[in-house]
Structure 1
């Protein structure tokens, strides 16, 4: 995007997403040099394989990156290519997801379906544009942009919570989705989405965290940063995840784990396996369990049927 186009965008906004006198060249050079000198060595940063990057992006959704590393490596060892994943049994992929505590199991289902799309519709080669990548199952705009950036250096500016926090603090960007997107687009140097998006997310991940480490991390933007100059390190609120312990998400995971051997299990037997206080007619009994099974069935993960006069469940 040209500076002229950026100026047009800025004029249309209620408030400019970036200060008008910002030295963009100096800011870009400083951040890239900081990132290239030292950054966290996550293994997916050492590859441009679109499949491996896609897996890392799905695993990283609302999961600590340090926890993702071992899961990503184990997943890659088990299904090293998109063709291998497409040929896998979906129940095995879902069971892997559950065993590694990677969050909602429907992500595993979507990842498996996307692999089949890549094989069936693209001959086993990932499409390169964000628009085409967004056609894959479970791939939203953010993930499509990330894969395009990190695999093909063909993405737009990534905007996540870290990027919002950085631009809000450093350049007093208004707390508005459109303003954050404009700021991120204008900051990114043309044709350098791979290094830039990695660098700005790294800045938010290690220096401009909720409790900032400006000096300790050697933040390269201190001389331009409004928060560093004023001492006001407020940032947009981040919605907290609901407690996992005792949640429906926790028990959905237990159901998938209990069914992971592929056998059909009677509903009441399943209830006792996943909850010590299960009682068919109790508060957390058959009606509660049926609701969880219905949710999993809607997600395409579980199926139920009547067998010998009782309801049984199995992984699809």
Structure 2
């Protein structure tokens, strides 16, 4: 582990962490229409609509909005009452977001000659565009953003690498992890991880979380987070035992089953002895996390290379 400037530790093999996440994302992710475009206007519309609004409701509204006002020029020329009326009719949250989006379109047309600014700092000059939205548009439209830090990303960093619940620490860790020049795929990938595998109720194994090998929460079974204050219901579960096995092997290198067993569960033995543990480790081996080696009458487990 290498220490960041804050009171947390990121994995020493950061390239492996990055590669694992990007490969997981590119292997299959949710297919939203705004992920199929690099039009900054369409991306801005999706980002503003998605603020505290369920994505299932956003998708239909997104298509309808862009059909009605397909360009910044069209939106800028629209009657603001019509834009606000659309927002309200589609239950997209606070109506001031519609007003700000309308004003931002007018700024693009009047101040930027119809061409979207491309950097986070410039995008932040648009009405209603804060640091998060500016980074999102810069990343997804121009591959030119800093790390995006939303609630999902904070949850991932808090659980995986013990990043403290502090905005500056989250920003620092997120930017340290993000590979240079890859803000588009990286920000999409880490947000997808938080939305699919590392939600309030984590789905580590079923979603094939690519960071299980390094994740502190997976090792300990404690999936609390800034937006998940209560102890996880995973206490005592098989998933927790898997995490403990990974954590013990990370700490000790390789262990024989009877050395590993008591580190995984305090009642190791009998019905929850070697046969049970071997089944648990074979599951982890199937997921590519653990290797098993038979040495005569002993079986040794280690993290997969």
Which band: TM-score by shorter chain? 0.7 to 0.9
Aligned CA distance change for structure 1 residues 227 and 238 (closer, same or farther; 3 Å): closer
Pick from 166, 174, 183 the counterpart of residue 176 of structure 1.
166
Which residue, 67, 70, 78 being the options, matches 1:88? 78
* Residue equivalent to 1:235: 225
* 1: CA distance, partners of 2:228 / 2:98: 25
Q: CA deviation at 1:67?
A: 1.1
Q: Is the 8 A contact 2:200 2:228 kept in 1?
A: no
Instruction: State yes or no: 1:158 paired with 2:158.
Output: no
Counterpart of 1:219 in structure 2 is 209
**CA displacement at 1:174 relative to structure 2:** 1.3
Give the counterpart of 2:116 among 126, 132, 139.
Answer: 126
| Equivalent-residue separation in structure 2 for 1:23 and 1:208 (angstroms) | 21
2:114 paired with 1:140: no
TM-score normalised according to structure 2 size: 0.73
**2: CA distance, partners of 1:101 / 1:222:** 37
Provide, for residues 142-186 of structure 1, a one-character-per-residue CA deviation record: whole Å limited to 9, x for no partner.
111100000000000001100000011011111111111111001
Which residue, out of 100, 113, 120, partners 1:110? 100
User: 2:200 maps to which residue?
Assistant: 210
Aligned residue for 2:210, secondary structure, equals coil
Give the CA deviation at 1:232.
0.8
Give the structure 1 partner of residue 52 of structure 2: 62
Q: What secondary structure does 1:202 align onto?
A: helix
How far apart are the structure 2 equivalents of 1:111 and 1:176?
Answer: 29
How far residue 41 of structure 1 moved from its aligned partner, in angstroms, is: 0.3
Instruction: Find the counterpart in structure 1 of residue 28 from structure 2.
Output: 38
- Contact kept? 2:200, 2:227, Cα under 8 Å: no
Task: Pick 1 or 2: higher relative contact order, CA cutoff 8 A, min separation 6.
Answer: 1
Residue of structure 2 in register with 1:22 after alignment: 12
Give the one of 173, 191, 200 matched to 2:181.
Answer: 191
**SS of residue paired to 1:80:** coil
Cα deviation, 1:201-239, whole Å, max 9, x if unaligned, reads 000001000000000100000111111111111111369
CA distance in 2: counterparts of 1:130 and 1:106, whole angstroms: 22
CA distance in 1, matches of 2:228, 2:100: 26
Q: 1:22 & 1:107 partners in 2: Cα distance?
A: 42
CA RMSD of aligned residues (A): 1.4
1: CA distance, partners of 2:222 / 2:120:
36
Q: For the residues of structure 2 that align with 1:96 and 1:107, how far apart are their CA atoms?
A: 12
TM-score (normalised: structure 1): 0.70
Deviation per CA, 1:46-67, whole angstroms, max 9, x where unpaired?
A: 0000000000000000001111
Unmatched runs of 5 consecutive residues or more in structure 2: 230-305
Per-residue Cα deviation, 1:87-130 (whole angstroms, up to 9, x for no partner): 11111000000000000001000000000000001111100000
Structure 1: gaps spanning 5 or more residues: 1-5, 240-316
Q: Distance in 2 between matches of 1:187 and 1:52?
A: 27
Q: Distance in 2 between matches of 1:236 and 1:71?
A: 30
Compared with structure 1, are the counterparts of its residues 238 and 76 closer, same or farther at alpha carbon in structure 2 (3 Å cutoff)? farther
TM superposition shift of 1:141: 0.8
